[in-house]
Structure 1
Amino acid sequence: MNITFRWYGRDNDTVSLADVKQIPNVKGIVWALHKTPVGEIWSKEEIQSEVAYIRSFDFHAEVVESVNVHESIKLGLPERDRLIENYKQTLLNLSEVGVKVVCYNFMPIFDWTRTSLFHPNEDGSTSLFFEAEKIKNIDPMALLQEVKENSHLTLPGWDHLSKERLQILFEQYKSIDEHKLWENLAYFLNEVAPFAEKVGIHLGIHPDDPPWTIFGLPRIITGYESYMKLKQITASSGNQFTLCTGSLGANPNNDLLSIFNDFIKDAPFLHLRNVKTFENGDFIETSHRTADGSIDMAGIVKILAENNYSGYVRPDHGRHIWGEKSRAGYGLYDRALGIMYLNGLWDAYMRNE
Structure 2
Amino acid sequence: MFSNLEQTFRWFGPSDPVSLQTIRQTGATGVVTALHHITAGEVWTTDEINIRKETIAKAGLTWSVVESVNIHESIKTAGAERDEYIAKYITSLQNLAKAGLKTVCYNFMPVLDWTRTNLDYRLPNNASALRYDAAAVAAFDLYILQREGAEKDFTTQQQQAAKQYLDGLTPEQKTYITNTIMAGLPGTDDVFTIPEFKEHLQRYAQTDAAKLKQNLAYFLQAIVPEAEKAGIKMCIHPDDPPFPILGLPRVVSTEQDLKDLVGYCKSPSNGITFCTGSLGARADNDLPGIVERLGSDIHFIHLRNVQREPDGSFYEADHLGGSTNMYAVMKNLVLEQKKRADAGRDDVDIPMRPDHGHKILDDYNYNTYPGYSAIGRLKGLAELRGLEMGIKHTLFQE
Map residues 98-177 of structure 1 onto 2, 5 A cutoff. 98-139=100-141, 142=144, 151-153=179-181, 155-157=183-185, 159=190, 161=192, 163-177=194-208
How far 1:282 moved relative to its partner?
0.9
What amino acid maps onto 2:62 in structure 1? Answer: H
Q: Distance in 2 between matches of 1:34 and 1:140?
A: 32
Which residue number in structure 2 is paired with residue 49 of structure 1?
A: 51
Q: Per-residue displacement from partner, 1:201-221 (whole Å, max 9, x unpaired)?
A: 111000000100001110010
Q: Distance in 2 between matches of 1:349 and 1:154?
A: 41
Q: Distance in 2 between matches of 1:175 and 1:35?
A: 31
Q: 1:262 to 1:125 in 2, by over 3 A?
A: same
What amino acid maps onto 2:12 in structure 1? Answer: Y
What amino acid maps onto 1:208 in structure 2? Answer: D
Which residue number in structure 2 is paired with residue 185 of structure 1?
A: 216
How far 1:172 moved relative to its partner?
1.5
How far 1:274 moved relative to its partner?
0.8
Aligned counterpart in structure 1 of residue 386 of structure 2, from 344, 350, 353: 344
What amino acid maps onto 1:173 in structure 2? Answer: Y
How far 1:348 moved relative to its partner?
1.1
Q: 1:92 to 1:252 in 2, by over 3 A?
A: same
Aligned counterpart in structure 2 of residue 242 of structure 1, from 267, 273, 286: 273
What amino acid maps onto 2:17 in structure 1? Answer: T
Map residues 191-270 of structure 1 onto 2, 5 A cutoff. 191-270=222-301
Contact 1:205–1:242 (8 Å) recurs in 2: yes
Contact 1:207–1:242 (8 Å) recurs in 2: yes
Which residue number in structure 2 is paired with residue 4 of structure 1?
A: 8
Question: What's the secondary structure of 2:393's corresponding residue?
Answer: helix
Between structures 1 and 2, the one with greater helix share: 2
Q: 1:213 to 1:348 in 2, by over 3 A?
A: same
Q: 5+ unaligned residues in a row in structure 2: which ranges? A: 147-171, 338-347
Q: 1:108 to 1:147 in 2, by over 3 A?
A: farther
Q: Which shifted more, 297-306 or 271-280?
A: 297-306
Q: Per-residue displacement from partner, 1:126-153 (whole Å, max 9, x unpaired)?
A: 1000101110121399569977999454
Q: 1:245 to 1:108 in 2, by over 3 A?
A: same
Question: What's the secondary structure of 1:195's corresponding residue?
Answer: helix
Question: What's the secondary structure of 2:292's corresponding residue?
Answer: helix
Contact 1:273–1:315 (8 Å) recurs in 2: yes
Contact 1:4–1:27 (8 Å) recurs in 2: yes
The question of 1:16 aligning with 2:55 is answered no
Question: What's the secondary structure of 1:37's corresponding residue?
Answer: coil
Q: Distance in 1 between matches of 2:192 and 2:139?
A: 21
Larger Rg: 2
How far 1:162 moved relative to its partner?
5.1
How far 1:154 moved relative to its partner?
5.2
Q: Which shifted more, 254-263 or 135-144?
A: 135-144
How far 1:161 moved relative to its partner?
4.1
Contact 1:41–1:87 (8 Å) recurs in 2: yes
Q: Distance in 2 between matches of 1:85 and 1:334?
A: 39
Q: Distance in 2 between matches of 1:295 and 1:222?
A: 16
Q: Distance in 1 between matches of 2:258 and 2:317?
A: 26
What amino acid maps onto 2:37 in structure 1? Answer: K
Which residue number in structure 2 is paired with residue 334 of structure 1?
A: 376
Q: Which shifted more, 258-267 or 83-92?
A: 258-267
Contact 1:274–1:294 (8 Å) recurs in 2: yes
The question of 1:316 aligning with 2:369 is answered no
The question of 1:29 aligning with 2:57 is answered no
How far 1:180 moved relative to its partner?
0.4
Q: Distance in 2 between matches of 1:236 and 1:31?
A: 24
* TM-score (normalizing by structure 1): 0.94
Q: 1:323 to 1:18 in 2, by over 3 A?
A: closer
Question: What's the secondary structure of 1:300's corresponding residue?
Answer: helix
Question: What's the secondary structure of 1:345's corresponding residue?
Answer: helix
* TM-score (normalizing by structure 2): 0.84
Q: 5+ unaligned residues in a row in structure 1: which ranges? A: none
Contact 1:195–1:238 (8 Å) recurs in 2: no
How many residues align? The count is: 349
- RMSD over equivalenced CA pairs, Å: 2.1
Q: Distance in 2 between matches of 1:141 and 1:36?
A: 35
Contact 1:276–1:293 (8 Å) recurs in 2: yes
Q: Per-residue displacement from partner, 1:194-237 (whole Å, max 9, x unpaired)?
A: 11111011110000001000011100101111111112211122
Contact 1:147–1:155 (8 Å) recurs in 2: no
The question of 1:299 aligning with 2:328 is answered yes
How far 1:167 moved relative to its partner?
2.5
Q: Which shifted more, 267-276 or 150-159?
A: 150-159
Contact 1:147–1:154 (8 Å) recurs in 2: no
How far 1:166 moved relative to its partner?
2.6
